[in-house]
Each structure stands twice: as C-alpha cells, then as structure tokens.
Amino acid sequence: MRILFVGDVVGRTGRAAVTDMLPGMIRDWKLDLVVVNGENAAGGFGITEAIYQELLDAGADAVTLGNHSWDQREALVFIERAPRLIRPVNYTPGTPGRGAALIDTKNGQRALVVNGIGRIFMAPCDDPFTAIDRELNACPLREAADAIVVDFHGEASSEKQAVGYFCDGRASLVVGTHTHVPTSDHRILPNGTAYMTDAGMTGDYESIIGMDREEPLGRFLRGYPAARYAASDGPATLSGIAVETDDATGLAQRVAPVRIGSHLDQAKPEFWTAG
C-alpha cells in the first residue's frame, strides 16, 4: 500500500497547497491512502465542516486533529456526522467523535487510522499508551486492517519516540505532529514500523510555526500578548511522509520525507518518482 501523511495544514495558504498539489500527487504516485492533519486548517485554530469537506474533496481519506480540535466550536457537533474526522483517542470518555476509524482505501483495502495526543508540555488528558494499545489490539494489523497509521500529536520528541517503539511491529506508520517543524529521523524501526518524530506543517514557513511573525515575536520580546495570532498567508510548503508497505505483513518497506514548496529543501519519494 502507498501511504502519504500530510503534516499540520495551517490556514488558508496551507489548504490551498493541499488543494493544488494533492490531486496530482495521488495520480502520479498512485497513492492508496492519504491522511491529513487538519487541526490548524481554520485560520490556524481548529477545523470547520466546510474545511473538512474541502480536504476530503482534494483527496484526503482521513483527517486527524490535535490540541486545537475544538477551537471552532462547530466541530463538537459536526464531528458526529464526519466519520473520517479523527480526534485524539485519549480524550476523556464521552468526548464527541472518535479517536480511531477503519477507512476504505483507494485500492479497496482497509486502513485503521488512530490519533493520539501527548501529555508532556500539553494540556491534561488520559494515558495515550493505554488508549492506542486498546485500538491496536481491537483491530490488529493484517488480521483486521491492511495498514495502520498512528498520528501522535505531541510536544516532546521523547514521548513521540516512545510511542513509535511502543507500536513497532503493530502499525505501518507512527508519525508525530504538532511542532510544525519537520524532523530528519524518518526510518523503519526494528520491527517494521515506519517512523518520523514530526512531519512538519503544510503552511508558510516564512513565519513562526505558521503564524504571522509580528505577534509571536512581540510576545517573546514584551512578555505579554498585544493581538491575536493570525496564520501567515505566504506561499505554503507541503510537508509530510511517504510510506510503502508490504501487502503480506502491512509493515513498512520504504519511507521518505515529502517537502514541496519554496522555503525548504525539496524532498520527494524517489522510489515513486524515479524514471
């Protein structure tokens, strides 16, 4: 299976990058599953139903969230009728929506997508390891799902790495989100799970983690807020990770970073683009 995970989409310019680039990537790379983190898609804060549909229309098969899940209050309601919108699985029981979903892929297979959120330097939430373990045990790789993608939304690299090894051999891909800075540690772990500490963001990198530079810089200098954050509106770079799995095992065979845009060194999966 050919899987593309797209890092945190930030604001209008990030959505435009997805709309402009993703259909061609699906066609040219013959993608089977596309997962997009959309928790910053509405002006940098949360997601709306219209934006969720916009991402699906561009070719996303599932949309994951994170700590900004409920910044747009309508998400608390429309998530119940959005079966491919996945919020962190370790939110308090009774939270609207779902933390995992079994998705029909473009090639007729089935993929489990799980979204977890960290506890280090983040708002309080339930234990992510217990919650993710429960989902992996309920829908084992190859027995019930042809591929499994875990989006772990967290601040601490150590916690993300721990989740990677915790899931190694039981998931096709564990990828970190939230910091908006792509890491260079993409690899296949010893038991066959593809891993990357952070996929980066799909947004304007001439910014401070996707926000217009003036206000966040001013807060560091002043020590207090003077205005609301606003998503930067310059040209976006699409960042993420590409994984190819073995159909017999569901585990990763090849992995590569994806960076397409004007501000970072370009990166594409050569195993899909060569020739």
Which residues are catalytic, by number? Answer: 68
Given a contact cutoff of 8 angstroms between Cβ atoms, the answer to whether 122 and 67 are in contact is yes
Residue 275 CB burial class (10 angstroms; 0-12, 13-18, ≥19): exposed
Residue 15 CB burial class (10 angstroms; 0-12, 13-18, ≥19): buried
CB-side neighbour CA atoms (13 Å) of 202:
32
**Cα separation, 240 vs 253, whole angstroms:** 17
**Cα separation, 153 vs 151, whole angstroms:** 6
What H or E segment, with its residue span, contains residue 241?
A: strand 238-245
**Cα separation, 159 vs 172, whole angstroms:** 19
Given a contact cutoff of 8 angstroms between Cβ atoms, the answer to whether 41 and 47 are in contact is yes
Please report which residue ranges of 79-174 form alpha helices under DSSP H. Answer: 128-138, 157-167
At residue 38, what is the residue type?
G
